[in-house]
Amino acid sequence: MSTPAPEPSDVLRHRIWHVVGAVAVGVAAAGFLAGVAGPPERATPPRGEAPATEGPAVRRYSEMGSEPRGPNANLYERGTSVLAVERDPYAVVERTDAERAAALRARDARRAYDGAPPTIPHPIDQRRAPDCLACHGAAVQIDGKIAPTMSHPRYDSCTQCHVVAADPRPGGAAPEGVANTFVGTSSENPGARAWPGAPPTIPHATSMRTDCLSCHGSLGRVGLRTSHPWRQSCTQCHAPSAELDQRGPTP
């Protein structure tokens, strides 16, 4: 018994499945590559000279429903797909020296010195107590943009320490100011190790940086992410500095 020749409609059906399959694989591959590649590298500006605005303007809760805009415009429509991205918390995190250096440069560009409160890279509501915690309460990543979680305990007056990096006034065109020659410390020194392979000590003050995962978690800057995010008790192995934490006999 010979196999009956396929019906033309079946051929068409198979071809459609091939096309659909190819498209699906292609989209997935493109998506994967895009995800792996991340946003294109930009030249990192020098200390304290980061571009004034990098993110969308913060809006009031009341405006969010009525005026969707920015990268989060279709957040709720896309929400399920964003959440569906599976992360393996036990995946090995590879970092390179170049990534670490880039992360530190980017970090420095937002700060006058290591330990200074970073400036805010997007417009905010100047009048009301801003709803910073909507995004910065727990870190969120949407479309490659990360809103990091606060590194410190919750304080209610965010704008006491964090100010916007650009003229907040609409149409503002203020004259240039006098230059400043201050050179702040940068966060370049890696923690000291007692021997190769020993856990490094914490090279910075832990005051206002008590939540290590803000920078070192899986939504921290790429080069600063810990290789072992599943371990929760950081100071079990990484010792803070008594001097930097002002626990020693400082004057």
Partner 1 sequence: MERRQFIKNAAMASATVAATRLALGKDPPKPDSLPPTPGVTWDKAPCRFCGTGCHVQVGVKNGKVVAIAGDRKAEVNKGLLCVKGYHVGLALYGKDRLTRPLLRKGDRFEPIGWDQALEIVARRIFDDPEGFAIYGSGQWTIPEGYAALKLVKAGLGTNNIDPNARLCMASAVTGFLATYGVDEPAGCYDDLDECDVLIMWGNNPAEMHPVLFSRVIDRRSRGEKVTLIDIGTRRTRTSEHCQHHLLFKPHTDIAVANGILHLLLERGTYDRAFVEKHCRFRADSDPATLQGKEIGFDEFKRRLAEYTPERVQQISGVSAQDIRMLADLFGRRDLRITSLWCMGPNQHTRGTAINTLIHAVHLLSGHFGRPGDAPTSLTGQPSACGTVREVGTLAHALPGGLVVSQAEDRKKAEKLWNLPEGRVSGKPGPHTVELWRRFSTPKDEGGTINTVWVQVTNPARSLPNVNELFEPSRRIDGKFLIVSDVYPSATAQAADLILPSAMWVEKNGMVGNSERRTQQWFRMVKPPGEARDDAWQLIAVARKLYELGHPGMKDKDGRFLFAMEQGGVEVPVWDYRHYYDINVDSRLFEEYRTFTRFKHKDLAPYDEYVKARGLRWPVVEQPDGTWRETKFRFAGFDDPYVKKGQEFDFYHSTTKDGRAQIWFRPYQPPPEVPDAEYPFWLCTGRVLEHWHTGTMTMRIPQLRRAMPQAYVELNPADAKKLRVTSGDLVVLESRRGQLELPAWIEGRGAPPPGTVFVPFFDESLPINRVTLDAHDPFSKQPDYKKCAVRVRRSARRIARP
> Which residues, numbered 75-104, are part of the site for partner 1 (CB under 8 A)?
92-97
Instruction: Report whether 199 contacts 161 (CB < 8 A).
Output: no
- Compute the least distance from the CB of residue 246 to partner 1, in Å: 5
Query: Is 160 one of the binding residues for partner 1 (CB under 8 A)?
Result: yes
180, 232, 233, 236: which one binds partner 1 (CB under 8 A): 180
- Compute the least distance from the CB of residue 69 to partner 1, in Å: 18
Query: Is 42 one of the binding residues for partner 1 (CB under 8 A)?
Result: no
**Nearer residue to partner 1 within complex by CB, 70 or 191:** 191
Cα–chain-centroid distance for residue 100? 14
Tokens representing 42? 């930009």
Residues 6 or more apart whose CB falls under 8 angstroms from that of 58 comprise 122, 123, 124, 125, 130, 131, 132
Q: Which long-range contacts (CB under 8 A, 24 or more apart) does 40-49 make?
A: 41/102, 44/102, 44/105, 44/106, 44/109, 45/109, 46/108, 46/109, 47/108, 47/109, 47/111, 47/112, 47/183, 47/184, 47/186, 48/108, 48/109, 48/110, 48/111, 48/112, 48/184, 49/109
- Compute the least distance from the CB of residue 168 to partner 1, in Å: 7
- Compute the least distance from the CB of residue 54 to partner 1, in Å: 14
Query: Is 52 one of the binding residues for partner 1 (CB under 8 A)?
Result: yes
Tokens representing 131? 């709803």
Query: Is 36 one of the binding residues for partner 1 (CB under 8 A)?
Result: no
**Nearer residue to partner 1 within complex by CB, 115 or 142:** 115
Query: Is 243 one of the binding residues for partner 1 (CB under 8 A)?
Result: yes
43, 83, 171, 233: which one binds partner 1 (CB under 8 A): 171
**Nearer residue to partner 1 within complex by CB, 44 or 241:** 241
Map residue 164 onto helix, strand or coil: strand
Number of chain positions touching partner 1 (CB under 8 A)? 75
39, 182, 232, 233: which one binds partner 1 (CB under 8 A): 182
DSSP string for residues in 134-147: HHHSS-EEETTEEE
Binding range to partner 1, per CB under 8 A, among 1-9, 37-45, 111-119, 139-147: 111-119
Kindly tell me the sign of the dihedral angle through the C-alpha atoms of 94, 99, 105, 106.
negative
Q: Which of residues 183-202 bind partner 1 (CB under 8 A)?
A: 183-185, 189-197, 199, 201-202
